[in-house]
Amino acid sequence: MNIILAAVGGTIVLAILAIVFGLILSGVDRRIVARMQARIGPPLLQPFTDVRKLFAKQNIVPANAIPWLFNAMPIIALASAIAILMYLPFGSFAPILGELGDVILVLYLLIIPSLALVIGGFASGSPYATVGAQREMVSMIAYELPLAAAVIAIAWRLMAAGVADPFSMLTLMQTSAWDVVGPLGIVALLLLLVMLAWVTPGELSKIPFDSPEAETELAGGILVEYSGKNLGLFTLSQAVKTVAMAAFGIILLLPWNLSPFLGLTGAAAGVVDLIFFVLKVIFVAVVSVTVVRTMMARFRITQVMGLYWLVLGGLGAVAIILMMADAYLLGVI
Amino acid sequence: MAKKAPYIVPVGPIHPALKEPVHIELTVVGEEVISADFTPGQTHRGIEWMGLSRNPVQIVHLTDRICGICGVTHSLAFARAVEQIADITVPERADYVRTIIAEFERIQSHLLWAGVAAHELGFDTLFYLAWRVREEAMDAIELITGNRVNYDIIQIGGVRRDITEDQHEQILRCLNNYKDLFGKLKTLFLEDAVISSRCKGTGLLSFEKAMAYSTVGPTARASGCTADLRVDYPYAAYGDLDLKPILPTAYGSEVNGDTYDRIVVRIFEIAQSIEIIEQCLANMPAGPVLWEEKVAKILATCKKAEGEAVGRHEAPRGECLHYVAMDRSDAPIAWKVKASSYSNLHVWPLILKGAQLADIPIIVASVDPCLSCTDRVAVTDADASRTKIFTKEELTRLSYEKTRRMKQ
């Protein structure tokens, strides 16, 4: 009973916090991109205005769409994006449902918002959305390989170091992978850092991996037929997913907290860690999304495939081998 | 293996990748385009028809409105046609001013295109950069002509405004800035790994096909054709200058005729235009800029004129051609515009075939389409309230009939 209450309460609080923070993050992103392109850019709170406007607009369902599927997908996308947050620790706060799921579950949950987009795209019956949905499926398959390789490399190394329950989010938060590895392992972790920085924009469909939504090719792709509240829900799910993806990367590779260094305990430690965590999320989002999308052109879907499978998949394999060599050299296996 | 069914993706008439309306129908299998077709003529303005009830001086203003980018192209071509019929000699200084403004137009048009191309590739930073750089050319044009878009500087028999000595300094400052920027622009466009990988080998147009389809301008030169009106049939001040057509070999590469080559040609043409303007400014002869200052006298001369002529100009997109026929009346009896886009658009089905869906925008943009240049005639039956689309045979028959009427 207790856990259900915690889940319900936690969901509501987390959902509101994540939506607000996600939209602010999107505002920060737009603002920084504008500055980098020598523009002024919109106000920081523009995404709130956009979403408010979308929710006030009429919800149009195309004539040849499958209405229930078309309308259900935005809700599923937002719900699953919020569900990811239930399994992620924030700062020194343990995840609400941490005991009920691990990293692998988060990997699955990360797919659902994209899958909802794909199904919504197919259900809308527009040729642009169909092509966009096909591309989204291809890029989903593409970025899962390096992401899974990164997770496996870290979890395997933690297991080799004798850490109990290496796939658990709580373990990952408490035990930094950087603390258990030797020199070769550090090289491997740096490789994983690069890989995650490239997977993040792919996961979030941002330039150069925005081919499913490519405005100039597909007029918005998957989302082309979505309008009003449905589009607003997708915008919110995208904002929440940005937070979730950045947080996931931080938990895997940048899990430090500030309170042990400052010698803080109790509520003060929690607040300081949370602020530090938020700053880390902003930093990760800016580095791997904002900067990358400012300095690159959109990839072709074949290039996306090639990059994720050949280049980053290869890097992932190298990282796993380096991790094994590291464990072997340190004599833990 | 089961045969994959082709899938039709319509692009346009209204689409974010198209800045003007045109309908392109793509048959795709997976991501590959197996055939493409296009239907131009989605906007109708009837400019040629309007011209036939106006006198040549009024038409010069009208020609400025044919295209939003080529502010001087159409008026220059039209004025040259009328000057030939009425036997008007343009003062030398006016020829130099015309050349300078035409080359400024080439700079701003190519920069505008570069920005659009970057946007089509999803590279918005470069788009903003190119358009910011373009502003300086627009400012120079404003300095010379007083307008940023529809320049209205050409008059029959010369130009309306002279370029003063004070302006020389400002124009040269603008050109020097461009020279500094040129290296940067070249690096950003031609050395960027993503742009190269997206553009090399896409939208191939072989030399033979470019010749067979009569393409013009940078589109043709990127495929290795050396056709450049400024070199082949020098007019205005181009005869006094040392000019060579720009080919993709300018960047040290061989001629492939792909999208990348078309970028190379346009980027290097910007540098060439800067040199041309500098040469013109240095060698400008003194004298009047107008054959006759009084408009009434120009009109009287035009009214006495009889005959037909073709005025040509190498626009940023290629050769632009105006056919004018006059018969001692106020208005010309025939005026036909063939903008450069007419010659370039029809290679779309050819170069789109076999392309990836993702490359459609950049391939479509790589011929620098100007659709408002091509759309001027609508045949609408007001009584039946429907628009008629003529077949090629019907159009040929109509043109025979019209020629017969004109000869009577």
Q: Does A207 touch chain B (CB under 8 A)?
A: yes
The alpha-carbon gap from A324 to the nearest alpha carbon of chain B, in Å, equals 34
* B397 vs B55, more confident: B55
Residues pairing with B8 in the sheet = B27
Please say if the pLDDT value at position B387 is more than 70.
no
Q: Report, as an integer, the average pLDDT of B123-148.
A: 87
**Which of B41-45, B210-214, B325-329 bottoms out in mean pLDDT, i.e. has the lowest?**
B41-45
The confidence band for B377, taking pLDDT boundaries of 50, 70 and 90, is very low
Chain A partners within 8 Å of B28 (Cβ): 131
Contact B289, B94 (CB under 8 A): yes
The alpha-carbon gap from A282 to the nearest alpha carbon of chain B, in Å, equals 21
Report CA-CA distances (Å) from A106 to A173, A314, B270: 14, 23, 52
Residue B139 C-alpha from the chain's centroid: 20
- ipTM score assigned to the predicted complex: 0.79
Q: Does A243 touch chain B (CB under 8 A)?
A: no
Please say if the pLDDT value at position B3 is more than 70.
no
Tell me the pTM.
0.83
Half-sphere exposure of A173 (CA within 13 A, CB side): 21
Q: Which tokens go with B113?
A: 């295109």
CA angle in degrees (0–180, nearest 5) for A47-A215-A205:
65
The confidence band for B389, taking pLDDT boundaries of 50, 70 and 90, is low
Q: Give the chain B residue whose CA is nearest to the CA of A127.
A: B9
The alpha-carbon gap from B25 to the nearest alpha carbon of chain A, in Å, equals 12
pLDDT tens for each residue of B159-200? 888 888 888 888 888 888 888 888 888 888 888 888 888 888
Q: Does A297 touch chain B (CB under 8 A)?
A: yes
Q: Do the chains contact at B356 and A302, CB–CB below 8 Å? A: yes
> How many pairs of residues across A and B have Cβ atoms under 8 Å apart?
77
C-alpha span between A201 and A304 (Å, rounded): 11
Contact B341, B375 (CB under 8 A): no
Q: Give the chain A residue whose CA is nearest to the CA of B130.
A: A37
Strand B23-29 and strand B7-11: the pairing is antiparallel
Contacts of A44 (CB under 8 A, 6+ apart): A24, A27, A28, A31
Chain A partners within 8 Å of B357 (Cβ): 131, 217
* B137 vs A263, more confident: B137
Q: Report, as an integer, the average pLDDT of B216-242.
A: 87
Q: Give the chain B residue whose CA is nearest to the CA of A210.
A: B122
Report CA-CA distances (Å) from A15 to A4, A249, A280, A286, B73: 16, 20, 19, 22, 59
Chain A partners within 8 Å of B360 (Cβ): 217
- pLDDT for position B133: 86
- pLDDT for position A103: 83
Best mutation target among A296, A302, A310 (most B Cβ atoms within 10 Å) is: A296
Annotated binding-site positions of B for Ni(2+): 67, 70, 370
Q: Does B26 touch chain A (CB under 8 A)?
A: no
Q: What are phi and psi of B44, to 5 degrees?
A: -135, 130
pLDDT tens for each residue of B63-108? 888 887 887 889 999 999 999 998 888 898 899 999 999 999 999 9
Q: Does B24 touch chain A (CB under 8 A)?
A: no
Count how many residues are written for chain A: 333
Chain B partners within 8 Å of A295 (Cβ): 125
- pLDDT for position B1: 43
Q: Where are the domains of chain B?
A: 47-337
Q: Which amino acid is at A266?
A: G
Q: Which amino acid is at A65?
A: A
Q: Report, as an integer, the average pLDDT of B388-404.
A: 71
Q: Do the chains contact at A214 and B7, CB–CB below 8 Å? A: no
Please say if the pLDDT value at position B378 is more than 50.
no
DSSP A183: H
Chain B partners within 8 Å of A302 (Cβ): 31, 356
The alpha-carbon gap from B194 to the nearest alpha carbon of chain A, in Å, equals 6
Q: What are phi and psi of B355, to 5 degrees?
A: -80, 165
- pLDDT for position A47: 92
Q: Do the chains contact at A37 and B128, CB–CB below 8 Å? A: yes
Chain B partners within 8 Å of A303 (Cβ): 197-198
- pLDDT for position A1: 58
Q: Do the chains contact at A37 and B125, CB–CB below 8 Å? A: yes
The closest alpha carbon to B358, from A310, A215, A141, A205, belongs to A215
Q: Which amino acid is at B124?
A: D
Helix ranges restricted to H, chain A? 2-36, 46-56, 67-85, 103-124, 127-160, 169-174, 177-180, 183-203, 215-218, 228-253, 259-262, 266-285, 292-295, 301-305, 313-329
Q: Report, as an integer, the average pLDDT of B272-293.
A: 88
- pLDDT for position B22: 82
Chain B partners within 8 Å of A38 (Cβ): 128-129, 132
Q: Do the chains contact at A296 and B360, CB–CB below 8 Å? A: no
Q: Do the chains contact at B198 and A297, CB–CB below 8 Å? A: yes
A177 burial via Cβ count (<10 Å: 0-12, 13-18, 19+): buried
Q: Does A303 touch chain B (CB under 8 A)?
A: yes
Q: Where are the domains of chain A?
A: 2-329
Starting at the earlier edge strand, list the strands of the sheet with B318-327.
B306-315, B318-327, B334-338
The closest alpha carbon to A300, from B194, B249, B235, belongs to B194
Chain A partners within 8 Å of B195 (Cβ): 297
Chain A partners within 8 Å of B197 (Cβ): 303
Q: Does B192 touch chain A (CB under 8 A)?
A: yes
Q: Do the chains contact at A37 and B124, CB–CB below 8 Å? A: yes
The three-class DSSP label of residue B310 is: strand
The three-class DSSP label of residue A12 is: helix
Q: What is the rounded radius of gyration, in angstroms, for the C-alpha atoms of chain B?
A: 22
Contact A221, A132 (CB under 8 A): yes
Report CA-CA distances (Å) from B171 to A218, B69, B104, B272: 42, 20, 10, 16
Nearest CB to B122; choose among A38, A131, A208? A208
Looking at the structure, give the CATH architecture of the domain made up of residues B47-337.
Answer: Orthogonal Bundle (1.10)
Chain B partners within 8 Å of A37 (Cβ): 124-125, 128-129
Q: What are phi and psi of B313, to 5 degrees?
A: -150, 140
The closest alpha carbon to B339, from B44, B13, B23, B73, belongs to B73
| H/E stretch holding B338 | strand B334-338
Count how many residues are written for chain B: 408
DSSP B85: H
Q: Does A208 touch chain B (CB under 8 A)?
A: yes
pLDDT along chain A (333 residues), means of 10: 74 86 90 88 90 90 86 90 85 71 85 90 85 87 88 84 76 77 84 87 83 77 86 90 88 78 77 85 88 86 87 89 83 71
Q: Do the chains contact at A210 and B122, CB–CB below 8 Å? A: yes
Q: Give me the residue label for tokens 């979890």.
A: A155
